[in-house]
Homo-oligomer: A and B are copies of this chain.
Amino acid sequence: MSRLSEDASGVYVISATPFTEDGRLDLASTDRLVDFYLEKGATGLTVLGMMGEAPKLTAEEARIFVQRVVARVEGRIPVVVGVSAPGLAPMRELAHNVMDQGAAGVMVAPPSTLRTDQQIYDYYESVAEALGPDVPFVLQDYPLTTGVQIATPVIVRIVQALPTCVMLKHEDWPGLAKITALRRASETEGLRRISILVGNGGLFLPEEIGRGADGAMTGFAYPEMMSDVWKAYSSGDPEQAHDLFDAYLPLARYEQQPGLGLAVRKYVLAKRGAIASAALRRPGPKLSRADIADVERLIERQTRRLQHLA
C-alpha cells in the first residue's frame, strides 16, 4: 500500500461505522459501505474520525473495523485513520498498528487545551516525532469542535518543519482566506504544497476549490456530490459545479446539524442501501418522525432537481 502524500485529491469520504440494530459492529455492512463509497467516486477513505462513532468502539473493535475496511478496499484507494488521543504513547501505538494493517496515513486533531501559537506548533512537533518518519499525517483544523484556532503562520511553520505533515483537513469556518494564504505561500514563497481537503460537510466546497483546495474529506451521505463538484470544477466548469452543489445543498445543510447530523447521515445511507441499519450505538440521538419527514422531503426535492439538471 502506498503512503498518503501531498498529491492527494478528490474525495476522501469520512466513513460511517455501521452497527446492527442491537449495537454490534456490522461487518457485512462495512463491506457494503466500502463498495458504496467506491462506486460513488471516493478517491480515499477516512475511518475512526473524531466526530463519528469511533470513540464508542473498544480497542479490539476498532482494530477489527480498520482491518475489514482495508481488506475490502484491496489497495484501490488510500485509507486514512484518525488517531487523535489524549497522549502520544497511545497515539503512536494506534498509528503503528493501523499502518501495519495497511493504512496509508493518520489524522491528528489538536487537544482542546492548546491556545498559543507556540503550544500548537510544539504539539505537532511532538506528534511528528512520536509517529516517526514513516507515518504521513493529516493536520485536522476544526475549531468549531476542538476550540483550537490554528493561525495560518502556525500551519506554515508546521509544513516547513515537519515533512510528514502531508495534508490539511480544513474545517476552519470561515476559512476561505486561509486556503488562499496557504496557496499563495506555496506560489510566491516556495512553501511545500500540501494537499488541502475540506470538511464542514462540504458546505463551502465550490468556493473552497476555487481558492485552491484539492477536494473534500467529509462524510455527506451523497459522496457523488463532492466527487461531481470536484470533477466539474477541475475540468474548468465552475458553473456546472455550482449547479450540482446547489441541488444537494438543502440536504447537506440539514445533515450538517451538530449532534443530530450523524443520525441523518446514517438514515440516508441505510435508505440508499449502503448499510443495513441506521442505528447509532448508544448513547446517541434518534431521529423523530418530524426529522424523518424533513429528510424525506429534502431527498425528494433533491431527486427532482437532479433530474432537471441531467
A contacts, CB < 8 Å to B? 53-61, 85-90, 92-93, 112, 115-119, 122-123, 126, 143, 148-151, 153-154, 173-174, 176-177, 180, 203-204, 207, 210-211, 238-239, 242, 245-246, 249-250, 253-254, 257-261, 281-283, 288, 290-291, 294, 297, 301, 305
Query: For residue A291, which residues in chain B have a CB less than 8 angstroms away from its CB?
Result: 176-177
**Smallest CB-CB separation from A154: which chain B residue?**
B116
Knowing A55-B90, A88-B56 are in contact, say whether A253-B249 is a contact too (CB < 8 A).
Answer: yes
Identify whether the interface residues of A are mostly helix, strand, loop, or mixed. helix
A246–B249 alpha-carbon span in the complex (Å): 8
Q: List 24 A-B contacts (CB under 8 A).
A: A53-B87, A54-B87, A56-B87, A56-B89, A58-B93, A89-B281, A115-B148, A115-B149, A116-B117, A117-B117, A117-B151, A118-B151, A126-B283, A174-B258, A174-B259, A176-B291, A176-B294, A177-B288, A204-B253, A210-B290, A238-B297, A242-B297, A249-B253, A253-B253
Within the complex, what minimum Cβ distance (angstroms) separates A117 from chain B? 4
Are A58 and B259 within 8 A (Cβ)? no
Give complex CA distance A282, B301 in Å: 43
CA distance A282 to B151 in the complex (A): 21
CB pair A61 B89 closer than 8 Å = yes
Beyond the given A174-B258, A177-B260, could you list 20 further A-B residue pairs with CB under 8 A, ordered by the A residue number?
A56-B89, A58-B92, A112-B112, A116-B154, A117-B151, A119-B149, A122-B283, A173-B258, A174-B259, A176-B294, A177-B291, A180-B288, A180-B290, A207-B254, A207-B294, A210-B290, A246-B249, A246-B250, A246-B301, A246-B305
Bound-state CA distance A173–B256 (Å) is: 10
B55 contacts A87, CB within 8 Å?
yes
> How many angstroms from the CA of A290 to the CA of B246 in the assembled complex?
20
CB distance from A203 to the nearest CB of B (A): 6
Which residues on the B side are within 8 Å of A253 (C-beta)? Answer: 203-204, 249, 253
Q: Which residues from B are CB-within-8-Å of A60?
A: 93
When C-beta atoms are compared, the residue in chain B nearest to A243 turns out to be B301
A13 CB, min distance to chain B CBs, angstroms? 22
Nearest residue, chain B, Cβ from A50: B86
CB distance from A184 to the nearest CB of B (A): 11
Q: How far is the CA of A283 from the CA of B90 in the complex (A)?
A: 13
Contact flag A58-B250 (CB < 8 Å), given A117-B117, A118-B151, A290-B180: no
